[in-house]
DNA sequence: CTGTTAGCGCCTTCAA
DNA sequence: TTGAAGGCGCTAACAG
């Protein structure tokens, strides 16, 4: 018994019609072209029995379309945080009957060129250019065809739409969490700030979060008491920064610029016998898995990875369908995860 | 200026040769078929100038091969731990000039069928069937063509090769770490054990790790003092299990069945004022990122995700090339990450 | 050594 | 309402 795929010709023969007719029926244009109901059923039945499936490669060659999009990232696929971004993209793609190619550039322009070529060679219908952490990227010039930037903004003006988390609003939300809990003083930032220039290099998240924080606090007439910057948002550095802060100050609330930093802060706080949230409230950003693993569970403003991924393919499809507004920036809301690290002050 | 892709015909015309000749040159068979050096150079130059790239879709249709493999997982792509698996596969694929389709089944057989179809429709050259955590899976029967199981073993005998971490050896290694540090008693397991039947359902890792642990300890004439099982390896459950253990016992060493469990154990130990590793040594498995974030840094036997991914495509290619031994199981070594959670006993 | 010819499987005018 | 024919871009026999 032959394992060869059944082709349209096989199907046509089995149904006793021409290939054209079979094709028409299979592409759902039987009604439109007024093919007899009888013939239509015959074809459909034969297709079912033979297990006919159109060869996507052939269709691709013929139509120039592949129902495939490429997901190219610096290293997002491997980022433990951002697998959800792919998951979101994957699901949105599946809903549209589209497959996903993935590739990583490792930040190497040479690799990036190669990948983009390999994808174009395979006639991808569109491209998602993703970054592991939110930042500005240099848009490769050989992006032929529809593309969107995911978790990234173009370094130089570009027509490509961007999908990014709404970090400014997240900053506002974090500040509001503290305000709502009655905090008015003794608020310090860890990881960046308190001034806008004290941010890790390249990090748009840092400045935008800070902007939001300062805005809401400012409106409420509350001053940030101080802060410590970390060149990288790692637990060790968060620990060091917090330990250093504690040498001179007794904070009542910490806004950590992300969860890994917060983990370090927890450790430093613990070392000097300060209780979270009894003595010090902590808010953070990202909603990394550890946020709900550490004790007390961390109240944090979540990075909406899954939604970002979904949105990317939605925008990409809009892009592919009509002409979209060039360079539009889509901001995805960052939800607050209320947990146990913030105490109410009277 | 036309943006149309340069075709072989264009190239042939520009070089003043036939399409065949151009094709021969471009596929590197000029030497073999003794095409004049002069013509070869002319074609190569023209190709370079025109930026000719063969249309992979067309090649696919013609040759039936697509230089593409499919990576299908239950939900590994999104698993924060296992992004490295994809990364490994991605790199090994890139080295071979192959692209990766990815898809997730969410454990839904219906989705799985659909995905497999979609991939076959696109003529993938091979399939990687991956699981998020090591376990036995039901091999779908419509896997036409070469395929390998990644981080999974077939539930019923199958011809497909498997690539899995060498958990038994990992268990041995963990036990040796303790033995080498002079531990001879007061050793408890957390997450599973001490008996082989006390394991979370479905988890092959649990039983294999336990087997290795018991083997080495047994050989050294050391008895496991006791243990606590967790139905799922989560920090909370690790905490609860350890706290419960501490009500009755004073362990000198803990073998946690994975890092998340170990995190919970740390918390429980801390609560009763026990110091790691001063009072209690801790070894664990997985090398989750938190292992190096918590204090003291956790000594753990690493899950070789990256290597697993690489190996999967290596085996897949071997599979595609020659006939491989059916059903072979490839075990990838799990390296010990020596850190600070184990103290030497005199 | 190089060119001609014939498809791979499908879709799409154009005729019948 | 259906069929025949051509071609997407490429490779592989087979001639010359």
Per-residue confidence (pLDDT) for residue A141, from 0 to 100: 84
Whether A61 CB is under 7 Å from strand C: yes
pLDDT of residue A54: 93
Report the distance separating Cα A261 and Cα B330, nearest Å.
Answer: 39
Query: How open is the CA angle A61-B29-A123, to the nearest 5 degrees?
Result: 20
Bond into B230 cis (ω within 30): no
Q: Using CA atoms, how far apart are residues A342 and A276, in angstroms rounded to an integer?
A: 8
Tell if B9 CB is < 7 Å from nucleic strand D.
Answer: yes
Task: Let me know if A273 is exposed, middle or buried by CB neighbors in 10 A (0-12, 13-18, 19+).
Answer: exposed
DSSP strand pairing (B126-137 vs B162-165): unpaired
The greatest distance separating any two alpha carbons of chain B, rounded to the nearest whole angstrom, comes to 88
CA dist., res. A265 & res. A236, Å (int): 9
For B35, the token pair is 């095409």
Residues in a beta bridge with B99 = B68
Residue nearest to nucleotide C9 (CA to C1'): A58
So where are chain B's domains? 8-54, 68-165+305-332, 167-303
Alpha carbon of B241: minimum distance to chain A alpha carbons (Å): 15
Q: Nearest nt (C1') to A37 (CA)?
A: D1
| pLDDT per residue as tens digits for the range A190-245 | 999 899 999 998 889 999 999 999 999 999 999 999 999 999 999 999 999 999 99
Q: What is the rounded distance in angstroms from the CA atom of residue B131 to the CA atom of residue B309?
A: 11
Does residue A62 reach within 7 angstroms of strand D, measured from its CB? yes
* pLDDT above 80 (res A81): no
The interface residues of chain A toward chain B in range 137-156, judged by CB-CB distance below 8 A, are 144
Residue with tokens 């590994």: B76
The residue with greater pLDDT, B293 or A79, is: B293
- What is the pLDDT averaged over residues A119-143? 91
The per-residue pLDDT for B79 is: 62
Q: Helix, strand, coil proportions of chain A in percent (round to 5)?
A: 40, 20, 40
CATH architecture classification, A8-54: Orthogonal Bundle (1.10)
**Residue pLDDT, tens place only, B192-222:** 989 999 999 888 999 999 999 999 999 999 9
Residue B3 has pLDDT above 60, yes or no: no
* Burial annotation A321-331 (CB, 10 A radius, 16+ → b, else e): eeebeeeeebb
Sign of CA dihedral B218, B222, B226, B229: negative
Per-residue pLDDT band at A174 (split at 50, 70, 90): very high
Q: Can you give the pLDDT at residue B29?
A: 84
- Between chain A and chain B, the number of residue pairs with CB atoms below 8 A apart is 124
Strand A99-104 relative to strand B99-104, pairing: antiparallel
pLDDT for the residue B143: 84
Identical fold between A68-165+305-332 and A167-303:
yes
Cβ pair B61:A66 closer than 8 A: no
pLDDT at A36: 85
| DSSP result, A226-252 | EEEE-SS--HHHHHHHHHHHHHH---S
Rounded Cα–Cα distance for residues A111 and B98 (Å):
13
Tokens of A19: 């290939």
Mean pLDDT of chain A: 92
Distance CA B130, CA B153 (A): 10
pLDDT > 60? residue B308: yes
Asked if residue A324 has pLDDT above 80, the reply is no
| pLDDT above 90: residue B76 | no
pLDDT, mean over chain B: 92
**In whole angstroms, what is the distance from residue B229 CA to residue A224 CA?**
47
A24 sits within 7 Å of strand C by its CB:
yes
Q: In the numeric block, which tokens belong to residue A292?
A: 């709900």
Q: If you measure CA to C1', which residue is closest to nucleotide C5?
A: B20
What is the pLDDT confidence band of residue A1, given thresholds at 50, 70 and 90? very low
Residues of chain B above pLDDT 90, percent = 78
A57 touches chain B (CB under 8 A): yes
For range A88-101, the mean pLDDT: 96
Nearest CA among B205, B77, B311 for reference residue A80: B77
Residues A18-50 have pLDDT tens digits of: 888 999 999 888 877 778 888 889 999 999 999
CATH hierarchy code of domain A68-165+305-332: 3.40.50.2300
- Measured CA to CA in angstroms, residue A292 lies from A108, A283, A341 at distances of 35, 13, 10
pLDDT at A197: 94
pLDDT at B75: 79
CA nearest B297: which of B270, B267, B256, B263? B263
Q: What percent of chain A has pLDDT over 90?
A: 78
Q: By C-alpha distance, which of B284, B279, B277, B280 is closest to B299? A: B284
Higher pLDDT, A326 or B79: A326
Report the distance from CA of residue A273 to the C1' of nucleotide D4 in Å, as an integer.
87
3-state secondary structure of A78: coil
Burial (CB < 10 A; 0-12, 13-18, 19+), residue A87, is buried
B295 contacts A68? CB cut-off 8 A: no
Count of Cβ atoms closer than 10 Å to residue A122 Cβ: 23
Residue B277's Cβ-count burial label (10 Å; 0-12, 13-18, 19+) is buried
Which among A66, A123, A293 has the least Cβ separation from residue B235? A293
Q: Locate A16 and state its tokens.
A: 């006793």
B contacts of A132 (beta carbons < 8 Å): none
| pLDDT confidence band for B2 (50 / 70 / 90) | very low
Confirm or reject contact between A198 and chain B (CB < 8 A): no
Q: Is the CB of B63 under 7 A from strand D?
A: yes
Residues making up chain A, counted from first to last: 346
Measured over the CA atoms of residue A126, residue A131, residue A134 and residue A140, the dihedral's sign is: negative
pLDDT tens-place string over residues B93-114: 999 999 999 999 998 999 999 9
Report the pLDDT value the prediction gives residue A335, as an integer from 0 to 100. 98
The widest CA-to-CA distance across chain A, in whole angstroms, is: 88
**Cα–Cα dist B245/B324, whole Å:** 48
- According to the model, what pLDDT value does residue A31 have? 78
Share of chain A above pLDDT 70, in %: 97
Per the CB < 8 A criterion, the answer to whether A281 and A59 are in contact is: no
**Residue A77 confidence (pLDDT) above 60:** no
Tokens of B67: 């230089």
pTM confidence score:
0.93
Question: pLDDT band for position A5 (50/70/90)?
Answer: confident
Query: Chain C positions under 7 Å from a protein CB?
Result: 1-5, 7-13
Q: pLDDT, tens digit, for every residue of B48-59?
A: 999 999 999 999
pLDDT at B81 exceeding the cut of 80: no
CB distance B155 to B137 below 8 Å: yes
* Predicted confidence band of residue A2 (pLDDT cuts 50, 70, 90): very low
- How far lies A343's CA from each of A177, A183, A293, in Å? 10, 9, 19
Mean pLDDT calculated for residue range B182-190: 97
User: Residue A35 CA to nucleotide C9 C1', Å?
Assistant: 22
Q: How many CA atoms lie within 13 A of A27 on its CB side?
A: 14
Q: Label residue A140 exposed, middle or buried (CB < 10 Å: 0-12, 13-18, 19+).
A: middle
Given a contact cutoff of 8 angstroms between Cβ atoms, the answer to whether A190 and A256 are in contact is yes
Q: What is the dihedral of CA A237, A205, A260, B88, to 10 degrees?
A: -110
Tokens representing B306? 């990256």
Q: How far apart are the C-alpha atoms of A204 and A202, rounded to whole Å? A: 6
Q: How far apart are alpha carbons A47 and A15 in whole angstroms?
A: 8
**Res B1 pLDDT > 70:** no
Q: Please name the fold of domain A167-303.
A: Rossmann fold (3.40.50)
Query: How far apart are the C-alpha atoms of B189 and B261, rounded to whole Å?
Result: 11
Q: What are phi and psi of B116, to 5 degrees?
A: -60, -40
Which nucleotide's C1' atom has the smallest distance to the CA of B15? Answer: C2
pLDDT tens profile B104-159:
999 899 999 999 999 999 999 999 999 988 888 999 987 888 999 999 999 999 99
Interface of A with B in 286-315 (CB under 8 A): 289-290, 293, 295
The mean per-residue pLDDT over the stretch A267-280 comes to 96
Rounded to whole angstroms, the distance from the CA of residue A284 to the C1' of nucleotide D1 is: 67
Burial-class residue B36 by CB neighbours within 10 Å (0-12, 13-18, 19+).
exposed
Q: Which helix (H) or strand (E) segment is A115 a member of?
A: helix A109-121
How far is residue A248 CA from its own chain's centroid?
39
């Amino acid at each position: 018994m032959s394992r060869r795929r059944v082709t349209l010709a096989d199907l046509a023969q089995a149904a006793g019609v021409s290939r054209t007719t079979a094709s028409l029926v299979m592409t759902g244009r039987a009604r439109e072209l007024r093919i007899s109901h009888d013939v239509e059923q015959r074809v459909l039945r034969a297709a079912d029995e033979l297990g006919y499936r159109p060869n996507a490669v052939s269709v691709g060659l013929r139509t120039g379309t592949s129902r495939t999009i490429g997901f190219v990232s610096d290293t997002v696929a491997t980022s433990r945080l951002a697998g959800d971004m792919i998951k979101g993209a994957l699901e949105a793609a599946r809903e549209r009957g589209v497959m996903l190619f993935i590739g990583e550039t490792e930040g190497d322009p040479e690799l990036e060129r190669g990948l983009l070529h390999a994808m174009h060679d395979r006639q991808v219908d569109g491209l998602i250019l993703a970054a592991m952490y939110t930042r500005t990227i240099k848009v490769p010039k050989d992006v032929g065809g529809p593309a969107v930037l995911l978790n990234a903004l173009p370094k130089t003006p570009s027509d490509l739409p961007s999908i990014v988390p709404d970090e400014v609003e997240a900053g506002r939300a974090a500040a509001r969490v503290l305000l709502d809990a009655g905090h008015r003083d003794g608020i310090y930032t860890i990881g960046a700030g308190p001034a806008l220039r004290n941010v890790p290099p390249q990090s748009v998240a840092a400045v935008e979060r800070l902007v939001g924080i300062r805005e809401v606090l400012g409106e409420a007439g509350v001053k940030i008491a101080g802060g410590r910057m970390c060149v990288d948002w790692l637990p060790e550095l968060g620990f060091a920064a917090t330990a250093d802060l504690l040498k001179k100050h007794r904070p009542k609330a910490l806004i950590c610029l992300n969860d890994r930093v917060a983990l370090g802060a927890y450790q430093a706080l613990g070392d000097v016998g300060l209780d979270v949230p009894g003595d010090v409230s902590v808010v953070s950003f990202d909603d990394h898995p550890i946020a709900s693993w550490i004790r007390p569970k961390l109240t944090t403003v979540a990075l909406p990875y899954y939604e970002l991924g979904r949105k990317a393919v939605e925008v990409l499809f809009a892009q592919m369908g009509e002409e979209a507004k060039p360079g539009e920036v889509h901001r995805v809301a960052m939800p607050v995860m209320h947990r146990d690290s913030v105490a109410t002050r009277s």
